[in-house]
């Protein structure tokens, strides 16, 4: 298929020493005589004049020509490096439009690189993350993903999975014939091994997502416990509504604070209580979904009414799972009224006593957040990952676990389906899954002979 030709200014808006216009399309070699005043060699910088339709000089500078498929997009690419003037760059874009290009959509060069198999989906996303990186750690992690580190590890798991699918599907297709099939024990072992690798990969991906997106912290608790006040005290901005009437924070407010080099996204949630008010009920529903997506839950309790000595007793049943997963910290607030000592007052789950009003204990709480980030963070050797990737890894793991748990009872067809779905989820990460891969693998791995 012949793609249309796209053009865009590649350098940031405004004036600069150099400005770059990039063009990508299927047949750009023919454009060169109309565009510049001299012959151009592929992949070499040529100093030349950039010409208008009437051969007037628009600018002079360097031209780079990368014939496809050996280019970023896989198509012919022309890069014009002229003076960094918005007017000149506009004229160059208009010249390309005259010659038949159209203005590129955001991300369209990377999209073409993906469609033409120059980058997988993770790498294409890493291009955007690298450009957007706001710390050295983030840049390094994006670079690791761009270099294919993450994709390679996903592919390793996919390969292992394909091998198991080959065994299972062979059992389906050739059960009548006299070939050796894998025993349930063998399958269980292999699935367990894959689960282990997937779990390791998820750990690394979670670190990557912390680098990229920060840690999500949901602040929850009964109405009037001081959630909004705590959020304001932590972020130092009056972004949440503080009120002495219970039940006023109906929406999820978001703020970002950077502590110890990690960004924390703080979400204030509606007070958790049963209510008949439909608006408030919606707020409570959102609070629960916010908690499920949070890396860390801060449960705020009023130290005047809570029995602080027993950390476990502070945690209502509905929070027990978060506590077991090490995602819950209890914040005993309003210690200025209860005269409790500021700081850590309990463990398992950790309990920090603070006053959102006087600021006592907040430093300890901040340190606790940073600590929690490090457990999840540890940014050495990380690659960039997004929540989409985490969700897909999680889904794949779910299917594998489902398959292994029910190995004895599951119909072979359903087992095969779980595995197929696991692979599909992983394939959605890199964007490279096709069922032909599997067929190819089956036929090359088995010597069936006909």
Minimum CB separation from ligand GDP for residue 245, in Å?
8
What the block records as the tokens of 123 is 């790498």
Minimum CB separation from ligand GDP for residue 226, in Å?
3
Residue 334 binds to ligand GDP (criterion: CB under 6 A): yes
**Which is nearer to ligand GDP, 365 or 372 (by Cβ)?**
365
**Which is nearer to ligand GDP, 226 or 283 (by Cβ)?**
226
Task: Say if residues 161 and 419 touch (Cβ distance below 8 Å).
Answer: yes
Mark 267-296 with x for binding to ligand GDP (rule: CB under 6 A) and - for no binding.
Answer: ----x-------------------------
**Which is nearer to ligand GDP, 137 or 229 (by Cβ)?**
229
| Cβ contacts of 371 within 8 Å, gap of 6 or more | none
**Which is nearer to ligand GDP, 201 or 354 (by Cβ)?**
354
Mark 182-221 with x for binding to ligand GDP (rule: CB under 6 A) and - for no binding.
Answer: ---------------------------------------x
**Which is nearer to ligand GDP, 145 or 229 (by Cβ)?**
229
Minimum CB separation from ligand GDP for residue 298, in Å?
11
Q: Which residue is at the shortest CB distance from ligand GDP? A: 226
Mark 292-331 with x for binding to ligand GDP (rule: CB under 6 A) and - for no binding.
Answer: ----------------------------------------
**Which is nearer to ligand GDP, 243 or 406 (by Cβ)?**
243
Tell which positions 215-234 bind ligand GDP, by CB under 6 A: 221, 223-229
- The residues that bridge with 13 in the sheet, in sequence order, are none
Residue 333 binds to ligand GDP (criterion: CB under 6 A): yes
Mark 128-167 with x for binding to ligand GDP (rule: CB under 6 A) and - for no binding.
Answer: ----------------------------------------
Residue 244 binds to ligand GDP (criterion: CB under 6 A): yes
SS3 letters across the chain? CCCCCEEEECCCCCCEEEEEEEEEECCCHHHHHHHECCCCCCCCCEEEEEECCCCCEEEEEEEEEECCCCCCCCCEEEEEEEEECHHHHHHHHHHHHHCCCEECCCCHHHHHHHHCCCCCHHHHHHHHHHHHCCCHHHHHHHHHHHCCHHHHHHHHHHHHHHHHHHHHHHHHHCCCCCCCCCCHHHHHHHHHHHHHHHHHHHHHHHHHHHHHHCEEEEEEECCCCCHHHHHHHHHCCCCCCCCCCCCCCCCCEEEEEEECCEEEEEEECCCCCCCCCHHHHHHHHHHHHHHHHCCEEEEEEECCCCCCCCCHHHCCHHHHHHHHCCCEEEEEECHHHHCCCCEEEECCCCEEECCCCCCCCHHHHHHHHHHHHHHHCCCCCCCCCCHHHHHHHHHHHHHHHHHHHCCCCCCHHHHHHHHHHHHHHHHHHHCCCCHHHHHHHHHHHCCCCC
Residue 243 binds to ligand GDP (criterion: CB under 6 A): yes
**Which is nearer to ligand GDP, 5 or 355 (by Cβ)?**
355
Task: Using CB under 6 A, count the residues that bind ligand GDP.
Answer: 20
Residue 357 binds to ligand GDP (criterion: CB under 6 A): yes
Residue from the set 251, 336, 417, 437 that interacts with ligand GDP by CB under 6 A: 336
Minimum CB separation from ligand GDP for residue 260, in Å?
24
CA 121 to CA 114: how far, in whole Å? 6
- The residues that bridge with 36 in the sheet, in sequence order, are 50
Interface segment toward ligand GDP; rule CB under 6 A; list 102-110, 177-185, 333-341, 389-397: 333-341
**Which is nearer to ligand GDP, 314 or 356 (by Cβ)?**
356
**Which is nearer to ligand GDP, 77 or 301 (by Cβ)?**
301
**Which is nearer to ligand GDP, 228 or 329 (by Cβ)?**
228
Interface segment toward ligand GDP; rule CB under 6 A; list 98-106, 193-201, 351-359, 398-406: 351-359
Interface segment toward ligand GDP; rule CB under 6 A; list 8-16, 162-170, 353-361, 399-407: 353-361
Return the exposure string of 48-87: e unless at least 16 CB atoms fall within 10 Å of the residue's CB, then b: bbbbeeeeeebbebebbbbebeebbbbbbbbbbbbebeee
User: Where on the chain is the footprint of ligand GDP (CB under 6 A)?
Assistant: 221, 223-229, 242-244, 249, 271, 333-334, 336-337, 355-357
């Amino acid at each position: 298929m012949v793609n249309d030709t796209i053009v865009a200014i590649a350098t940031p808006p405004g004036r600069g020493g150099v400005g770059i216009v990039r063009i990508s399309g299927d047949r750009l070699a023919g454009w060169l005589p109309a565009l510049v005043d001299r012959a151009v060699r592929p992949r070499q910088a040529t100093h030349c004049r950039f010409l208008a339709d009437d051969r007037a000089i628009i600018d002079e500078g360097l031209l780079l020509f990368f014939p496809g498929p050996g280019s970023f997009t896989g198509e012919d690419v022309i890069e014009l490096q002229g003076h960094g003037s918005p007017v000149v760059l506009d004229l160059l874009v208009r010249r390309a439009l005259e010659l038949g290009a159209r203005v590129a959509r955001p991300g369209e060069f990377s999209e073409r690189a993906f469609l033409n198999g120059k980058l997988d989906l993770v790498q294409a996303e890493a291009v955007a993350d690298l450009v957007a990186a706001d710390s050295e750690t983030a840049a390094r992690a994006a670079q690791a993903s761009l270099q294919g580190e993450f994709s390679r590890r996903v592919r390793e798991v996919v390969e292992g999975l394909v091998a198991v699918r080959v065994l299972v599907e062979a059992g389906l297709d050739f059960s009548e014939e006299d070939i050796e099939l894998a025993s349930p024990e063998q399958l269980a072992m292999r699935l367990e091994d894959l689960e282990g690798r997937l779990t390791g990969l998820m750990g690394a991906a979670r670190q990557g997502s912390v680098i990229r997106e920060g840690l999500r912290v949901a602040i929850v608790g009964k109405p009037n416990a001081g959630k909004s006040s705590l959020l304001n005290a932590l972020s130092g901005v009056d972004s949440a509504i503080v009120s002495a009437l219970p039940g006023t924070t109906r929406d999820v407010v978001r703020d970002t604070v950077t502590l110890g080099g990690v960004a924390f996204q703080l979400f204030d949630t509606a007070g958790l209580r049963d209510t008949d008010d439909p608006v408030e009920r919606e707020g409570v529903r959102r609070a629960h979904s916010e908690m499920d997506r949070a890396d860390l839950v801060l449960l705020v309790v009023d130290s005047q009414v809570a029995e602080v000595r027993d950390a476990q007793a502070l945690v209502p049943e509905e929070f027990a799972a978060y506590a077991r997963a090490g995602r819950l910290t209890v914040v005993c607030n309003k210690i200025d009224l209860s005269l409790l000592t500021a700081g850590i007052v309990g463990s398992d789950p950790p309990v920090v006593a603070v006053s959102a009003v006087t600021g006592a204990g907040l430093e300890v709480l901040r340190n606790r957040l940073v600590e929690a980030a490090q457990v999840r963070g540890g940014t050495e050797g990380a690659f960039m990952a997004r929540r989409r990737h985490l969700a897909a890894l999680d889904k794949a793991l779910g299917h594998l676990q489902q398959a292994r748990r029910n190995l004895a009872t599951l119909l072979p067809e359903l087992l095969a389906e779980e595995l197929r779905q696991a692979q599909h989820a992983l394939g959605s990460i890199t964007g490279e899954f096709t069922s032909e891969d599997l067929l190819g693998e089956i036929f090359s791995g088995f010597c069936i002979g006909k």
